[in-house]
Structure 1
């Protein structure tokens, strides 16, 4: 199983370590000339680092457009593991987290989420031909199959809610390890956001395929938001006002098209408060 940090380093992607002193609310940091530390993991196409550590992916693209609408362009990308984003945010090492993070009730207790930036569902990757006929959680449970997903992913609680035993849920750092577990036969199916499942299946079409995401339960469809510290609610409100001017515009859709985000992924009129209460 590959180590995410080793993969990033081998690809020439530096793992950023901020040296800025821990500061107060984000507006105070900005007034003091500090950068806005944008935290994300290697989770394409949601958010990931480029060859020179530049923030790529549609979540980063939308965040940067909204920040520019606010007049902010002093942005420092900070790459971390998926599981380190919320702890890093609340410890004051990060100012905003992107990463394609679903707005979920348990996360809303610890994160001040922006307005939704998109609506998405999860999917499965399975060996070519789908020999066990797995299309959703019910199939995994009925077949006693082993699924693999990412540590900290919403799919862990979703699988348990659908009755899958904890012993049949393998947790690994991220997409690279999910793919490796399925290819090696250690897991019967990988469960992850459908955009990632589709990307992996496209690149590994000889051995892997993605199942139809509409076979997953309706309640598992989720909205993505950007995360802020609770004490930065004033900044988050200003950010949301800027985001409202950006989301769905031709310029925004053009910027995210290369990251597989399409008009059908727009969040609609759904509000963060409703998502926090219902997901």
Structure 2
């Protein structure tokens, strides 16, 4: 089309207002579609830096993640994440609670952007999510009724007694360890959270509850005296398993993972970090940092 013919075409459009309006609407629609496509190509870090809130998923497991009386989400994972995000220049977060077993699905489906729940790094999980460097090193523990009437000391001991019922949190590393220790399906009872599992031990529906030693210690210190007893598993029988809690995000969010990792590198093990962790009952031994996880 020549410059002359283009000019004549525009003059015809001007003589027909409805055609001009339709043309303008079409141009606006195309521009809007291009803008939306550009937004969809942004990764999570870019959207966060542009002002969009990060949706952070958590599951209740004290002291890693919990809710205060006033509704504020706190615990080891939320507080360390807050510090990391502040170092990125903002702290714009929406907290979303879910069961531990559903958190990775919520992340993959796009309903949350980060998991901050003290989730342990495992090879199977690392196939589905990106983990940051671990924030701590955590040993397992066993919660039994006071006096430990069945003298339970290890998963191997539990497996050898087919009538003993072990409570675990559904989707937890402890559930995987129970399967590896050859406990029968009838012995393993999965619960949505620590409160339900501890309640099962208290009422006799389960004989023992396996979770991180730190979490169980937190629970025992807040329960009535003479209800529960905390046992450190016999590592000569079960092996010296140490859980490595970390933050998790989608596989495509490597830039977000790297940004949080860089912030953690300057914070973990610092005096401020140690002081923060002691508020939640974690000791210096729990903060013996493992090498960062790459992916």
TM-score, normalised relative to structure 1: 0.85
Give SS of 2:112's match. coil
Once residues 239 and 291 of structure 2 are traced to their aligned partners in structure 1, the CA distance between those partners, rounded to angstroms, is 16
Matched with 2:114 is: 96
Q: Is the 8 A contact 2:60 2:66 kept in 1?
A: yes
* 2:100 maps to 1:82: yes
- Poorly superposed stretches of 4+, deviation over 6 Å: none
Matched with 1:218 is: 239
The partner residue of 2:173 within 145, 151, 154 is: 154
Q: Is the 8 A contact 2:62 2:219 kept in 1?
A: no
The partner residue of 1:191 within 203, 210, 228 is: 210
**110 and 235 in structure 1: CA distance in 2 versus 1, 3 angstrom threshold:** same
* 2:152 maps to 1:134: yes
Alignment length (residue pairs):
254
For 1:106-185, list aligned pairs within 5 A.
106-144=124-162, 145-185=164-204
Task: Tell me which moved more, 227-236 or 200-209.
Answer: 200-209
Once residues 100 and 23 of structure 1 are traced to their aligned partners in structure 2, the CA distance between those partners, rounded to angstroms, is 30
Could you tell me which runs of 5 or more consecutive residues in structure 2 were left unpaired when the two chains were aligned. Answer: 1-38
1:129-173 C-alpha deviation (Å, 9 max, x unpaired):
101100110110122211011111111111111111121100111
The partner residue of 2:226 within 180, 185, 206 is: 206
Q: Is the 8 A contact 1:23 1:92 kept in 2?
A: no
Q: Is the 8 A contact 1:125 1:191 kept in 2?
A: yes
The partner residue of 1:259 within 259, 267, 280 is: 280
Q: Is the 8 A contact 1:179 1:190 kept in 2?
A: yes
Task: Tell me which moved more, 78-87 or 216-225.
Answer: 216-225
1:74-132 C-alpha deviation (Å, 9 max, x unpaired):
12222222222111111111111111100001100111000110000111111111011
**31 and 270 in structure 1: CA distance in 2 versus 1, 3 angstrom threshold:** closer
Could you tell me which runs of 5 or more consecutive residues in structure 1 were left unpaired when the two chains were aligned. Answer: 1-20
1:24-57 C-alpha deviation (Å, 9 max, x unpaired):
5212321432111121111110012223332210
1:166-221 C-alpha deviation (Å, 9 max, x unpaired):
21100111111111111111111111111121122223331111102454733421
Give SS of 1:220's match. coil
Matched with 2:60 is: 42
Name the one with the larger strand percent: 1
Once residues 40 and 244 of structure 2 are traced to their aligned partners in structure 1, the CA distance between those partners, rounded to angstroms, is 30
Q: Is the 8 A contact 2:274 2:284 kept in 1?
A: yes
Q: Is the 8 A contact 2:144 2:228 kept in 1?
A: yes
Matched with 1:4 is: none
Once residues 215 and 119 of structure 2 are traced to their aligned partners in structure 1, the CA distance between those partners, rounded to angstroms, is 13
* 2:268 maps to 1:247: yes
Once residues 143 and 155 of structure 1 are traced to their aligned partners in structure 2, the CA distance between those partners, rounded to angstroms, is 18
Root-mean-square deviation over aligned CA pairs? 2.0
Work out which of the two has the higher radius of gyration on C-alpha atoms and give 1 or 2.
2
* 2:257 maps to 1:236: yes
